[in-house]
Structure formats: structure tokens, C-alpha cells
Amino acid sequence: MSTPAAAPTAQILITLNRKRVYIFPSKHGIMLAVMVFVILLGSVNYDNALGYLLSFLLFGLFLIGVLHTYRNLTGLSYVAGDAKPVFAGSDATFKVTIENTADWQRYNIHLAHRPGLSNRWRRRRSIVRAEIATIKPRSIATMNLTLAATTRVSLHLTRVRISSVFPLSILRAWGYFETPLQCLVYPQAIGQLAMPLDVHAIGESNVGVSQGNDDFAGFRPYQAGDPIRTIAWKNLAKQDPVLVKRFTGGGSSAVRLRWADTAVLGDTELRLCQLSHWIVEAERLGLDYALELPELTIDPNSGSAHCHACLSALALY
């Protein structure tokens, strides 16, 4: 449980077997059972031999259904899983890989997130989408289970329910995989504060300044809070989108995104969101950026790995 976003391993973690597969009539099954009972009652009353035959034939289908539904699920193994980090407020997609070692095909396999009973209702609502899959004999299938990532830090997929109503939808067989899967959830990338592009106060070490006034280095879209003097008025007059002139100075161009700069927001979560927003912006603009948190500093860099490192730091703050 502790390893975040477990790397896919070839090792089989759990295989469904007799002790792990549960079966119970589904809603439709109960409907059919009531109907069969009515037929049986009618047969008794009218002493109708064919009525007896039909009710016992349907009853037989029900009983046989137990075997077939069980057979459709038993022997399936959870092989691996993976989830890419997401921002809070979006959907996290877990890729769960199931292996079928048997020589028969599995139909209508359905995954769902089912943590313990305690907060079942809340978690159930969090399921956005679950796929239904067919798994061929002796093969693996990767299924996507999409949950809503509401809060930062991480989303645990602790218990996956694998179920199937094949072949008649009158019985549901299910089992649970205890998976170590979790998805890192970055703080939502929102914030009103302008990125601290103005860096005079920081000093001029090579890790500091990301923006000077010396050399023109191109345009970028205007953001609330940009100094008025950096606005490219000429372009604005040409009815282009509002752009801001960028200058480089001090021989280095790295932004420092500091925890301290967000102090005005007060609330920790809001400050993390703001930092997250800045990181995303900086990454989008192709800037080098550094992150300074109270107990952690990440040196300036860019690229997806760096971005992930910074956002992870925020997520786990």
C-alpha cells in the first residue's frame, strides 16, 4: 500500500478462486425468480404439468447459472496496475491488468472501486466510468477504471471489485482484488496571483533571476498582475491578443516559485493550488523554474520529469 503508483510487475498478486468469488441473484434475477414462483404457483393451482416443467426448467437455468457465472470469473488474476498522476478535480484513470490463464473466454467483466463498507456510498459516487471487457483465453486485458480525484495527495484504489453477470444477468458473481494502486493527485492548478517574474529582490545568482529587463526574449500572453510596462502596446494596437514582452537578464532565466510569495492567500490549500498553477504555466511557457517550499527546495529545471517532481512535492506537502 505504501509504494506509490506501483510499477507493473509480472507477478500475479491475487487469483480469484472458490473462496474469493461470491454469487448472489441480481435485480433481474430476483425479477425472474418471482416470475418463476408465480408460474409454479399457477401450475400447482391449475395442476398444469407443462407449467411445472417450465418452472423447473427456468429454475434449472437459475441453478446452472450459478456454475456458469462462477466459471466466468474464477481463475482471473490481478496482474498489474498503473495510474498517471492527475490534478485534483479531474478524473484519475487506473489501468488494471487482468489475466485469464484458463482456456475459456471471459465475457462482460466489470471493474469497480469498492473500498470497505464504511464510506462506501461516498466512494461509489466517485466512480466516473468503468469499462466492460471480454478477456480471451490465456491472455491479458487492461481495463480502465476512472475515478474522480477530488482532493490532493493521492487516490488509493485499495479494493477493486471484479464482477460479471454473464451469461443471463440473473446472477452476479464478484470478487475483490486488494490492489496497492494509488494515483498521485496534484493540487488543482488555479490561482489569481501573477507569477513572480519580477526578481530583483532575489539577487543575481545563477539560480535566481528568471527575468530581467536587459534583453528582449519574446512575447507571452498577458496574465493578471503583469507590470503594465511590460505590455506590448504595439501589438495590442494591431488587435493582437494582449502580450507581454519578456526580457532576459543576469545570464540566467529561471523563475523561483516560492511558498513565501503566496502568503497573501493565507489558506494552505489555496497556496498550493497557486504554486501548482505557476508550475504548469512555467512549464507551458518553457521556462526554467525552481520550487521553494518551507522544508524543500527543488533546483530550477524544466521538462516533464521536473514538473512531476515539483507537483509531487506540492501534492504530498
Which of 22, 107, 219, 222 forms a contact with other proteins (CB under 8 A)?
A: 107
Written as one string, the DSSP assignment of 241-297 is: PPEEEEEEBTTB-EEEEEGGGGGGG-SHHHHHHHHHHHHHHHHHHT-EEEEEETTEE
**Residue type for 46, please?**
Y
Residues 122-151, interacting with other proteins (CB under 8 A): 129-134, 138
* Cβ atoms of residues 171 and 165 within 8 Å: yes
* Cβ atoms of residues 128 and 93 within 8 Å: no
Cα 230 to the center of its chain, rounded Å: 39
Residues 149, 139: Cα–Cα separation, whole Å: 31
Tell me whether residue 28 or residue 156 sits nearer to other proteins (CB atom): 28
168 binds other proteins (CB under 8 A): yes
159 binds other proteins (CB under 8 A): no
Tell me whether residue 46 or residue 121 sits nearer to other proteins (CB atom): 46
* Cβ atoms of residues 232 and 241 within 8 Å: no
Angle at 124 between CA 115 and CA 20, to 5 degrees: 40
* Cβ atoms of residues 87 and 185 within 8 Å: yes
27-35, 216-224, 276-284, 294-302 -> range binding other proteins (CB under 8 A): 27-35
Shortest CB 85 distance to other proteins, Å: 24
207 binds other proteins (CB under 8 A): no
Per-residue string for binding with other proteins, 36-55, x by CB under 8 A?
---x-xx-xxxxxxxxxxxx
64 binds other proteins (CB under 8 A): yes
164-172, 173-181, 200-208, 232-240 -> range binding other proteins (CB under 8 A): 164-172
Q: By CB under 8 A, name the binding residues for other proteins.
A: 28, 31-32, 35, 39, 41-42, 44-61, 63-64, 66-68, 70-71, 74, 102-103, 105, 107-108, 110, 129-134, 138, 165-169
